[in-house]
């Protein structure tokens, strides 16, 4: 194509922004940036009953969260506005009148009962159900009189039988459909109230969209849109249909997983850059084994030629892997800043302690929301079964002996940093057995099977709290042995 590259993302504000829409937006954005093109956001709110401002706000804010800056859109305007379909009625009216004047479309007054009867009759004859065209021959003057009298009508496009509707898809190659399987389909409820297929054709043309990159679920709409382009005498864009997102067992991804609000993932502690990195690899693969990409690297490497035709598998484990990677490598100051909203208010009063804990726990975090659970024992001692203190074949008397010895060694330690603590305790641990000393010590401090090393924990707790928790462990052993 000789025209400049212009792409768009056109979500419907009938629900919160979800992963499928974000992936489509990302692929459009990358394609535009690669070709020095423009990225447009358009709100397709033809479904007046279900479209809500709260959903539009969520969509726009979600796209901003991942830094997909658009060149034109409902919030910033542009030369091809308005960018909400609900505000484009006058533009639509010009095109519906053109179709009626040129006898490319007609008003249909068939009732739902009539259409149901037609459909059943065709199915009974083994025919593909489609509209019979009974209102085709109704003169336009008569149709206008019936509408003026208040009769309900819809606008249908004339579709001739016996031809093949084809288009070349950048991902799937040549796609063809017989027009006989389509019939005269409905394109509008009134001159200004259009259905999806007609509205999207007009909007893409008026906004000079060169490439339509969208989900595979729109392939069935494309032949109808090609027919509308032909009826209006306008050039269609180039199409590229992205693969579906599938669950790990290759079945269609559950509605709950797919339509979970994108911003809900953010609220669960997934970093925007991790989500973008994860999504770009859902259906696209680079020409090498690289997995970690910055947005700039994606722009350099992305190509529709390497977008798969087969479904892209959604794996929460893989998403967590990406998120853990970005948490681990994010500059500490930035990580602390994004983590701050996930920290209980009372902890924020001890910022220095939070910083120490984060430095220790960041390599174990898969999401930011996990921090509170991982770090809670640093602030409030946890209850645990006395038997958890036992390492392998030790008995509780031996455990208490080791903990008592540790208390004696710690009494002489004045600086509670990791290096000093290791120097004070490791010779004893090497002599008695690392597991025999360090396991009960770590459990006494954390109350958990899994936690950071006892030296890391003690460096955060400080001397007073460390001695208090080890002493409490010894008292638990005494109480347990008395009870048994």
Catalytic residue annotation: 255
Q: Which two tokens stand for residue 438?
A: 């360090």
The answer to whether 418 touches 484, Cβ cutoff 8 Å, is no
Does residue 31 contact residue 302 with C-beta atoms inside 8 Å?
Answer: yes
Residue 406: CB atoms within 10 Å? 24
Burial (CB < 10 A; 0-12, 13-18, 19+), residue 46, is buried
Cis peptide bond prior to 473, omega within 30° of 0: no
Task: Write out the two tokens for 176.
Answer: 């063809």
């Amino acid at each position: 194509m000789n025209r400049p590259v212009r792409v768009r993302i056109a979500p419907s504000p009938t629900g919160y922004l979800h992963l499928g829409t974000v992936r489509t937006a990302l692929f459009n954005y990358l394609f535009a940036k690669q070709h020095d093109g423009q990225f447009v956001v358009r709100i397709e709110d033809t479904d007046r009953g279900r479209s809500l401002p709260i959903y539009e706000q969520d969509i726009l804010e979600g796209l901003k969260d991942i830094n997909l800056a658009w060149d034109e859109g409902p919030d910033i305007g542009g030369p091809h506005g308005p960018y909400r379909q609900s505000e484009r009625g006058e533009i639509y009216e010009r095109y519906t009148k053109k179709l009626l004047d040129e006898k490319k479309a007609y008003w249909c007054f068939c009732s739902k009962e009539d259409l149901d009867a037609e459909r059943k009759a065709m199915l009974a004859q083994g025919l593909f159900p489609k509209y019979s065209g009974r209102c085709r021959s109704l003169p336009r003057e008569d149709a206008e009189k019936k509408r003026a009298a208040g009769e309900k009508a819809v606008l249908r496009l004339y579709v001739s039988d016996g031809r093949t509707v084809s288009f070349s898809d950048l991902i799937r190659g040549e796609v063809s459909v017989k027009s006989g399987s389509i019939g005269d389909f409905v394109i509008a409820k009134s001159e200004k109230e259009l259905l999806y297929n007609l509205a999207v054709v007009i909007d893409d043309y008026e906004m000079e969209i060169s490439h339509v990159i969208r989900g595979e679920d729109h392939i069935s709409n494309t032949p109808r849109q090609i027919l509308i382009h032909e009826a209006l005498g306008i050039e269609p864009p180039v199409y590229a249909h992205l693969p579906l997102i599938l669950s790990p067992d290759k079945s269609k991804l559950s509605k709950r997983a797919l339509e979970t609000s994108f911003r809900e993932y953010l609220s669960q502690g997934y970093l925007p850059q991790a989500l973008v990195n994860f999504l770009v690899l859902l259906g696209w693969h680079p020409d090498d084994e690289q997995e970690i990409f910055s947005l700039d690297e994606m722009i350099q490497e992305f190509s529709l030629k390497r977008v798969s035709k087969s479904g892209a598998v959604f794996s929460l484990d893989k998403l967590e892997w990406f998120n853990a990677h970005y948490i681990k490598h994010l500059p500490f100051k930035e990580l602390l800043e994004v983590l701050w909203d996930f920290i209980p208010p009372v902890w924020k009063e001890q910022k220095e302690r939070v910083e120490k804990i984060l430095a220790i726990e960041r390599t174990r975090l898969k999401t930011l929301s996990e921090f509170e659970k991982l770090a809670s024992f640093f602030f409030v001692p946890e209850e645990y079964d006395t038997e958890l203190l036992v390492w392998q074949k030790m008995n509780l008397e031996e455990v208490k002996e080791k903990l008592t010895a540790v208390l004696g060694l710690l009494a002489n330690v004045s600086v509670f940093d990791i290096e000093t603590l290791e120097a004070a305790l490791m010779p004893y641990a090497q002599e008695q057995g690392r597991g025999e000393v360090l396991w009960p010590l770590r459990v006494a401090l954390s109350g958990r099977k899994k936690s950071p090393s006892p030296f890391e924990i003690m460096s955060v707790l400080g001397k007073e709290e460390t001695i208090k928790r080890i002493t409490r462990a010894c008292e638990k052993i005494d109480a347990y042995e008395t009870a048994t």
